[in-house]
Each structure stands twice: as C-alpha cells, then as structure tokens.
Structure 1
Amino acid sequence: MSSAKAIVSSFVEGAPPGELADVIADIKALTLSTPSLVKELGPALEKYSEDQFITAKLPSGSQPVIVSAHSSLGGGRYYDVESSSSFAFDHATQKASAVQSYVLEGAQADLVKSTLKALSPYVKEHYPSAAYGVYSIEDDSRIAIVIVANKYSPGNFWNGRWRSLYIFDPSSGALDGSVKVDVHYYEDGNVRLLTKKPVTVSVSSGTGAGIIKEISAGEKKYQEELNRSFTSLSEGAFKGLRRQLPVTRQKIEWDKVASYRLGQDIGGGSSRR
C-alpha cells in the first residue's frame, strides 16, 4: 500500500460517527491531483462499515439492519436473522440493496433466535434508537451479539455512537466482549471521547434470556461508571480549566459591575473615552 493510500485509509477508518461523508469530501478536496486515490478506498470503507456496525434500512423494511464482520456472507452481502433476509451493501454510499430471503440453519440456530427474542425488549427499553443482531460464528460453534446506538446532532456540532459486541461460547458458558463509546464534539474546537470497557463473565444459564440478563447487568454497571466519571470531570478537571480571576488578579465585585470600565478595570488595559 502506498503511503498516500495508507494515510487516506487511516482518515476513513478513524472517521467520527455520522461523519464519513464529510471525511470523504475532505479527502477528495485534498487529493484533486490524484482523483484515482479515492477509488482505491474500498477496503478501508468496508473495514469502517464492519468495525463501526454501520446500520442501513432495507428497501422493504423499517427496522435497521447491521453491517458487521459477524453477519458477512462474503462478496459484499450480509444477513439479518430477524428479517430472515440477506442484502448487498455499498460501503461508499452506505445503502442496502438486492434483498433476498435468508433462513439461518445450523446447530446454534435455536440459541440465536432465543437470544434475539430476549435482546429485542432489552434494547427497546434502554436505547432510544438502536439496532441489534445475533449471529452464528466460527463454524457455528459460537454466537455474536451486537448492539449499536447512534445519535447524530450535527446542528449542535456533536455525534455519538455506542457499540456493544459479545461472543458467547455455549460449550463453556463464557461471555466475552466489549462496550465502546465514541462521541465527537466540534463546535469552536475538536473534542472526542473514546472509551472501551472489556467484559468477561460466566453465564450460569446458557439460554437466550440468561445471556441477555448478564449483558443487561454489565451495561447498567458501565453506564453508572460513565455517569460518575462525567460528574467528576465536570466538578474537577474541567472546572479547574476555567479562569478563576480576571487578568488583573482581582476578584470582581459583582454589585458594582455596572460601573466597571471593561477595558481598563477588568481587562487591565486602557479604555477609550
């Protein structure tokens, strides 16, 4: 891979939630002399879609489906158990098409369906807008549980994404995974929050309901940890960044603020008369 291609690919793979189109537009503007470079970003776009659990609406459906390595059928096609369908996905436009019927079969099919049934009410209760999926992986020896919640507010200069991925091994009862939170705030600055919380638990009941019970407990605990961290930042580190005194090093007497001459008395310079 050329150094230029590697650099622009890293831009794509690091694009904040909901801002891939903006990143692509910037890349096109920066590579006007080599327009063919953008056409070579297919692998980076595919990796971004699968890593970020990009969601799409099927032409005939209302429920969003997830694009991930765990739901990949190869050849640019993915499947969704709940809608019993497979679809083609364009990683550049982030659009789904060519929907076909798809029925999951195999040793873990029943566990996948029962887990999906238990996952649905949990997600709808705790996430205002989210997509979810359960898939058979690793030659039908394990299942993957995926949750992704997006919140885009470009008008207020921020976007965010929550991603949960869990791998369950029916033979051992082990549930391993992680929760990732990615929030980008860019009004008059550029601040990005990236967190990752590993999860490793043993599921006593290897049923769909038992798996989701452990997921629910773990995510509730992590949300409480995040809330405490934000409170600590607000009352501690962020507060310490604020200027405690004006440049004159004197406290403002607020009952006399109307009589201050802004430039001289507060700013420390000479005021114009």
Structure 2
Amino acid sequence: MSRTSALSSFVESTPPGELADVTKAIKSILGDDAVTGELTPAFEKYNEEQFSTTKLPGGSAEVLVSPYNSLGDGRYYDVESQSSFAFDHATGRASAVQSHVLESKHDDLVKSFVKCLSTHTKEHYPKSSLGVFPIEEDSQIAIVTVANKYSPSNYWNGRWRSSYVYDPSSNSISGAIKVDVHYYEDGNVRLLTKKDVSVSVGGGASAGEVLKQIATAERKYQEDLNKAFASLSEGAFKALRRQLPITRQKIEWEKISGYRLGQDIGGGRSR
C-alpha cells in the first residue's frame, strides 16, 4: 500500500466531527503540513459520503455537500437558497457564492419535498441539514438528511445520515439509513450501522405521502436500535463481567491487591 493510500484510509474512516483532529495528527506524525494537498481526493470523498455541511458566507443555515448536488470542479448547489458555492474540502469552508436557479421538470415536486422534509426533520432531529436534488438526468429525486451531534468535552460524537432516491415513474423509494457514533473516553467504542430501505407509494403520490413512508421507516429503525441497545446491556455486555458471589464477608481493603478474586473474596481455599 502506498503512503497516499494508507493516509487516505485514515481520512476516509474518520469518526463524525473529528476530521480536523485526524488531519492535525497526520501532519504532526509526518512533520509535513504540505500533506493536505496529497489528501485532497480523500477529503472530497469523505465530505461527500458523510454529507458534510457548511455555512455560506453571510448565511446562518448550514447547507449540504454531497454527490447529489455536485456541479463538478469543487462546486455545489443548494435548492433553498438558490445558490451555488465553491467548497474547500480540506478546511470545510464555502466561498464564491453565485446565483443558481433550479431547472427541473420536477421543480414543483422538489420544492414540496423541501418543505415537507423540513417539517419532518424539525420534528425528529434536534439539529439537522437537508437537501432535495434532481438526479439521473432529471428522472429521479434524491432526498437527503444529515443530523450531527458533537460533544468532544464528553468524548463522544455522532451522526445520522439518511438518503433516498424517489422515482416518480415507478413510485418507488429506495435508500439507506446510516448511524455512526464514537465514544472515546478511556478507550474507543464505535457504532456503525446501516439499514437499507425499499418501499413504494401509490401512483401520483404527493411529497407528503412519500415523506410519510420515509418517516415510518426511520421511526421503525430507531425503535429497533433502542431494542438492540437494551438487549446488549442486559445480555452480551453483562455476560462479559465476572459475577462475584455474595458471601457477606468483610473485605480487608488494605489487602485488596493480594486477593485472588475467585477464591479469597468468594471464601474459597487458597492453593
């Protein structure tokens, strides 16, 4: 494996909200600030796959960076603000904002999706960004949501990503939900999950009806995750811990380092 490939793999597997830290660590280890240019393709792949967000100059709302709204040459567009912008994948900053009016035969449907998706995300996510984009030569519509929650002071960060493709000709919805959570206090624990989604709606379905199907799928997945966490806590995780017997004997704390847990604390004989 080449140096660039090895370094790119670190970038592409970076947990949510930690890209700047990983980049800083790479520079520190190599002693080379110029490595940023070498990793530009990896940064671009990471930002598009993770649905990275950025604020436009002078704006307050965060807009998406994804393969669905790429214009090529490092530029992306946003339907709500009717603008396009240049994006620096290394720094995560937007610049050179220009007007970009959407031209699509599904223009009205796209706008309806934006409105319905905005309502959906406000009801279900504390903080999120969304995007709706015509794709496949204007024959399909991509519906994208990303919700980030970072708490580095408490050593955890998390990201929810959902993306769907709606095909008006077949009335089908297909996509995936991805969850990535990283806990790193006194160690590293990372949750990576993916749930494929495939549903259909009636002919001529409205944006609201499509979003209703999406909301149902996301709610079901959230419930399944909650059940899985409860099962792990009461099952697999508990099985990992040694069960100490209750003997009602006092522990001589000054001798704690000399106890053999299975015998001395449990009242068994010493060998």
What residue number does 2:113 align with?
Answer: 115
Match of 2:135 among 123, 137, 154: 137
Deviations 1:142-196 (A, max 9, x none): 0100000000000110000000000011100110000000000000011100000
DSSP 3-state at the match of 2:170: coil
* Cα pair distance change 1:38/1:90, threshold 3 Å: closer
Contact map agreement 1:27 1:38 (CA 8 A) in 2:
no
| Residue 172 in structure 1 maps to residue 163 in structure 2 | no
Counting only pairs closer than 5 Å after superposition, residues 99-248 of structure 1 correspond to structure 2 as 99-204=97-202, 205-245=204-244
1:6 is aligned with what amino acid? S
Match of 1:79 among 74, 77, 80: 77
* Cα pair distance change 1:156/1:109, threshold 3 Å: same
Deviations 1:11-42 (A, max 9, x none): 0010000000111111112222x654432111
What residue number does 2:268 align with?
Answer: none
Contact map agreement 1:57 1:96 (CA 8 A) in 2:
yes
Contact map agreement 1:152 1:159 (CA 8 A) in 2:
yes
DSSP 3-state at the match of 2:131: strand
- How many angstroms does 1:230 deviate by? 0.5
* Separation in 2, partners of 1:111, 1:181: 28
Match of 2:246 among 251, 254, 272: 251
Contact map agreement 1:58 1:64 (CA 8 A) in 2:
yes
* Separation in 1, partners of 2:177, 2:160: 7
* Separation in 2, partners of 1:35, 1:149: 31
In structure 1, runs of 5+ residues without a counterpart are none
Deviations 1:195-230 (A, max 9, x none): 000000012253211111110010011000000000
* Separation in 2, partners of 1:208, 1:69: 22
Deviations 1:225-254 (A, max 9, x none): 000000101111111122212xxxx5352x
RMSD of aligned residue pairs (Cα, Å): 1.7
1:11 is aligned with what amino acid? F
What residue number does 1:38 align with?
Answer: 36
Contact map agreement 1:87 1:96 (CA 8 A) in 2:
yes
* Separation in 2, partners of 1:93, 1:42: 10
- How many angstroms does 1:60 deviate by? 2.1
Contact map agreement 1:88 1:96 (CA 8 A) in 2:
yes
* Separation in 2, partners of 1:18, 1:267: 44
Contact map agreement 2:36 2:90 (CA 8 A) in 1:
no
* Cα pair distance change 1:82/1:266, threshold 3 Å: same
DSSP 3-state at the match of 2:146: strand
* Cα pair distance change 1:24/1:252, threshold 3 Å: farther
Contact map agreement 2:109 2:207 (CA 8 A) in 1:
yes
* Structure 1 range deviating more: 130-139 or 233-242: 233-242
* Separation in 2, partners of 1:8, 1:265: 46
DSSP 3-state at the match of 1:103: coil
* Structure 1 range deviating more: 57-66 or 41-50: 57-66
Contact map agreement 1:181 1:196 (CA 8 A) in 2:
yes
* Structure 1 range deviating more: 174-183 or 81-90: 81-90
* Separation in 2, partners of 1:42, 1:265: 54
In structure 2, runs of 5+ residues without a counterpart are 265-271
- How many angstroms does 1:267 deviate by? 5.1
TM-score computed with the length of structure 2 as normaliser: 0.91
1:143 is aligned with what amino acid? I
What residue number does 1:97 align with?
Answer: 95
* Number of residue-to-residue matches in the alignment: 260
